[in-house]
C-alpha cells in the first residue's frame, strides 16, 4: 500500500478489506461498514463536534448492526483483525454513549463535562473498552489511542492514515489465515509483526506505530 492515500481511497480500501475478511471467515453476518450509495443524513448529538473527515465517513458509509435492532444495545460495526483484536466503531447516532466516562463523567443520567477532557476529542471506537479518539479540530483528523486510562497517544496523523493502517493489518492477518496468535502462548506471532510493522512504520512513523501496537496488545 502506498503512503498518503486520500480519505476516500483509504476508507474504501478499509471497508473492502474488512467486509472480505468477515465474509471469508463467516463472521458478523450483516454487521459492519457498508457503502451507502447515497449521501446519508447524520444524526449526532449536537454537543459532539465532527470534523470534515468524520462527516465524510458517516455520510458515505452506513454502520450496520442487526443485533442492535429493537434493543438498547450500542449499535456498532465489529472490525476483527486476526483472531483476537476486535474493534467496535459506534454508529454516529450512538456516539454520545462512547463519550460517557471520557467527555462526560458522573451520573449517567445527568453527566457533567469533564475538565480533563479536550473538547475537540471525540471517542469514535473502542478496543477492550479503551478509546480510539479523533481530534476534530486538527487538519486531517489525527487519531489517538488511550490504553488502560493512560494519556492519549498519537496513532495516526490523519483519519485516512488510520484506516489505511487497519487495512494493512487486516490484509496481513488474511495472509496468515486469520491466525496471528500462537496457539499455546497466545502471544503475537513474529511473522505477523514482520509482515505488518515495516509497512506501518512507513505509513505512520515509528512512534505512532509503536503507540498503535501497544494499544492493540501486539507489543508490550
Of 206, 9, 171, residue with least CA distance to 81: 171
% of the chain surpassing 70 pLDDT: 99
Mean pLDDT of 168-192: 93
**Helices of type H across the chain:** 7-24, 52-60, 95-99, 159-175, 190-204, 206-215
**Assigned C-alpha cell, 190:** 513474529
How would you classify residue 80: left for phi > 0, otherwise alpha for psi between -120 and 50, otherwise beta?
beta
Grid cell listed for 43: 444524526
Instruction: Please name which of 126, 165, 158 lies closest in space to residue 145, comparing C-alpha atoms.
Output: 126
Question: What is the sign, positive or negative, of the torsion defined by CA atoms of 125, 127, 133, 134?
Answer: negative
DSSP label at residue 142: -
pLDDT of residue 109: 79
The confidence band for 1, taking pLDDT boundaries of 50, 70 and 90, is very low
Average pLDDT for 122-130: 97
> What confidence score (pLDDT) does residue 76 get?
96
What residues contact 37, with CB distance under 8 A and at least 6 apart?
none
**Beta bridge partner(s), residue 175:** none
Measure the CA angle with vertex 151, ends 141 and 73; round to 5°: 70
Digit-coded pLDDT (tens) for 20-54: 999 999 899 999 999 999 999 999 999 999 999 99
Q: Are strands 121-127 and 104-105 parallel, antiparallel or unpaired?
A: unpaired
* pTM for this prediction: 0.95
What confidence tens digit (pLDDT) does each residue in 7-16 have?
999 999 999 9
3-state secondary structure of 197: helix
Residue 133 has what pLDDT?
A: 98
Amino acid at each position: 500500500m502506498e503512503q498518503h492515500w486520500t480519505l476516500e481511497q483509504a476508507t474504501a480500501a478499509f471497508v473492502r478489506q474488512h467486509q472480505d475478511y468477515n465474509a471469508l471467515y463467516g463472521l458478523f453476518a450483516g454487521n459492519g461498514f457498508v457503502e451507502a450509495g447515497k449521501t446519508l443524513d447524520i444524526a449526532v448529538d449536537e454537543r459532539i463536534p465532527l470534523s470534515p473527515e468524520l462527516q465524510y465517513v458517516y455520510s458515505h458509509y452506513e454502520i450496520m448492526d442487526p443485533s442492535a435492532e429493537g434493543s438498547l444495545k450500542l449499535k456498532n460495526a465489529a472490525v476483527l483483525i486476526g483472531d483476537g483484536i476486535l474493534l467496535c466503531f459506534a454508529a454516529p447516532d450512538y456516539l454520545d454513549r462512547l463519550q460517557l466516562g471520557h467527555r462526560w463523567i458522573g451520573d449517567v443520567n445527568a453527566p457533567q463535562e469533564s475538565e480533563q477532557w479536550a473538547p475537540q476529542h471525540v471517542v469514535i471506537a473502542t478496543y477492550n473498552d479503551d478509546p480510539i479518539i479523533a481530534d476534530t479540530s486538527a487538519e486531517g483528523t489525527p487519531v489517538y489511542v488511550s490504553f488502560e486510562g493512560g494519556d492519549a497517544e498519537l496513532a495516526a496523523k490523519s483519519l485516512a492514515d488510520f484506516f489505511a493502517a487497519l487495512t494493512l493489518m487486516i490484509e496481513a492477518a488474511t495472509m496468515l489465515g486469520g491466525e496471528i496468535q500462537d496457539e499455546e502462548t497466545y502471544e503475537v506471532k513474529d511473522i505477523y509483526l514482520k509482515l505488518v510493522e515495516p509497512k506501518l512504520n512507513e505509513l505512520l512513523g515509528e512512534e505512532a506505530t509503536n503507540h498503535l501496537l501497544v494499544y492493540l496488545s501486539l507489543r508490550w
